[in-house]
Structures are given as C-alpha cells and as structure tokens.
Amino acid sequence: MSLFSKKLLQWNEHFNTRQMPWKGIKEPYKIWLSEVILQQTRVEQGWNYYEKFIENYPTICDLAKAQDEVVFKLWEGLGYYNRCKNLLFTARYICDKLHGKFPEKYEEVLDLKGVGSYTASAICSFAYNLPYAVVDGNVFRVLSRIYGIEKPIDSIDSKKFFTQIAQENLDKKEPAFYNQAIMDFGATVCKPVNPNCANCVMTGICEAHNRGIVNLLPIKEKMLTRKTRYFTWFILSVKNELFIHKRIQNDIWQNLHEFYLQENEEKFLWNEEKANTFIYNQFSKSPVFISISKEFSQQLTHQKIKTIFIFVELKHKPDSLKSGMWVEKDTLSTLAFPKIINDYFLSPSL
C-alpha cells in the first residue's frame, strides 16, 4: 500500500466526519440510485431527492412499477432528464429480466443503461467490495495535486493515466472504504477553489504543495478553451517585495509574468473574509492587509478574460512558494506582463 493510501485511510478513520444518507450502505439498488442522482448534481441538492426516491420506491421493483410521469415529477428540478429515463429503463430491465436481482459482476453492471465506468466501479466496490477504483472529479483533483501531475484531466489519454494511478493506490482489501475516503477527502479538504492545505495530513508528500502549484492543478483542457475565463490574481506582498512567476504552460501569455493565480470555472464573488480564508488555507499565514480591486477584462481573439486583483500583505514569505520569485515593486516595469495586468498597474490600486 502506498504512503498516500495509508495516510488517506488514517485520515478517514480519525478525521472524516462527512455524512450522507447512502454512505456505508451495501444495497446495490440504493448505491446505484444515489450515483445516478449525483452524476450531474451536487451532494447538497441530491440528498433530498435521494431520500424522496427511497421513501416512495424502497426497492428497485417498486421503481420499475411506477408510472413515468410520477417518477419524472419526483425528479423535477434535477435536470438532465435522460438520467431519469435511463433510471426507469434499467430498473425495469433488472426487475423483469433479472428477477429483481442487481448484477454482481463489473462487466454486467457496466452494461446497464446509463452506467459508466465510474458508476460501475462505485457500485461494485461499495456493494460487493470488489477492487475497482472510482475516478471522479474529486479523485482526479486529489491525485493530480498529490503526485504533481500536469496532465489535463479531461483528455482521453489522461483519464486512462489517472485511472491506472487510482487503481495502483486502491486498497484491494477494503476498496469501499478507500473509495469513499478519497472522494470525501477531495470534497472536504482538497477542494477545488479553497483547499485546506493548512490542516492537510498530506502536505509532507503532496507534490503540488511542496512545489507551490496547488492553485494550478488540476489542469483542464476545456478550461483553457472556454470563451470566458475567470481569473483571480493574488498580489502577495512581503515588505517591499511581490511574488511573481512566469507562465510556462501551453496557454495564453506563455513566457509572460503573472501573480499567484486562481482560475475558477465560473465567476467567484470574493470578499475580505473569503480572501483571508483562502490565503490561510493555502499558506498557513494570516494576511496583515487585504484589498480587492474592481473587475478588469480583456478580449482576446477567442477568449474573454475577466479578473480581479487581490492585494495581500503578509509578514513573512510562505515557504511553499517555490515556483516563482520575489521582486522589488520598483522592478515590475522592467518585466513583461499580460496587458490586463499592465492595465491594473495603471490603476490607482497598487
């Protein structure tokens, strides 16, 4: 078992307090139902829907016998109604053709309509304790950061690569516990926007943290080609020095300098409290002063960039920032930056 897996299971035993109504159950019908609901839905939203479905249809054959319109009404608000169609089709197939018995082999589960490799792995590991690693967004993010993998998680080749790593780390004796642990860890600690690095048990072995690139991982090809992208640049200041680094990824503004970047898939509304929490979680340091700019935008040929700048004054330099350099404020004019950052320089904010 890898050191990461050992630490993960220790974290799961001593610190994981995440609760969900389907967590720990072994009944494949309920696991399948929860996974279908959560395919395009956040846990907070799907929770009530799951409980309503179980209340109305406690067994898979109860669901199979239900009228389409009644089930669709219960599904109302979840969207992606094809999931609901597949749910009914599969319930009726299992009830009518398999005499109500859910398949127990991975290949047979994968053959069910609306079930992909992730859902099949979840059902087989949680219900039957079979050694199949789940690979969802949480798992991609955790593995990308732990191992410092700079491959786009949404490309076909990279998905195979991450699946292989996930399978290698899987605790083959207790796959259900491991799979739930890594998903919970990604949802509560190694979060997308505000990972809690300051209180993370993995900091000693996390490549992203040790190289100061937690904010850059995971990489997504789709994000790089979005028509509108949302940047937040944190201008980290210690005494008269600012932290900058050079953009070396195969992306816009290659080889130009920038500040500490957090890119979100949608607009994120920052305030002083959220910025303070972000900085502490990233660097285990509390800001002395924070100032949030107005929104700046720049239209490129195929993309529009919208950004805000958050000036953060710190007492000491974070130890984890190793991918860039600290420069005197007066030297910024001698370095090459994207136009949108130069527009910020011309504003009275800095």
| Annotated catalytic residue within 13, 27, 35, 328 | 35
Torsion of CA 137, 139, 144, 146, to 10 degrees: 150
- Give the integer Cα–Cα distance in Å for 149 and 92: 42
Residue 241's DSSP bridge partners are 238, 328
- Give the integer Cα–Cα distance in Å for 320 and 335: 23
- Give the integer Cα–Cα distance in Å for 278 and 246: 22
The number of helix segments (H) and strand segments (E) in the chain equals 15, 8
Length of the chain: 350
Kindly write down the DSSP assignment for every residue of 152-195, as one continuous string. Answer: BTTSHHHHHHHHHHHHHHS-SSSHHHHHHHHHHHHHHTS-SSS-
With contact defined as beta carbons under 8 Å apart, do 110 and 120 qualify?
A: yes
What Rg do the C-alpha atoms of the chain give, in angstroms? Answer: 23
Locate tokens 């720049």: which residue? 298
Strands of the chain (E only): list them: 228-238, 241-246, 257-258, 260-264, 289-292, 296-299, 304-314, 325-328
DSSP at 219: B
- Give the integer Cα–Cα distance in Å for 177 and 13: 10
DSSP at 330: G
- Give the integer Cα–Cα distance in Å for 23 and 208: 29
The helix/strand/coil state of 266 is coil
Q: Strands 304-314 and 228-238, how do they pair?
A: parallel
Active site includes 35?
yes
Just list the catalytic residues.
35
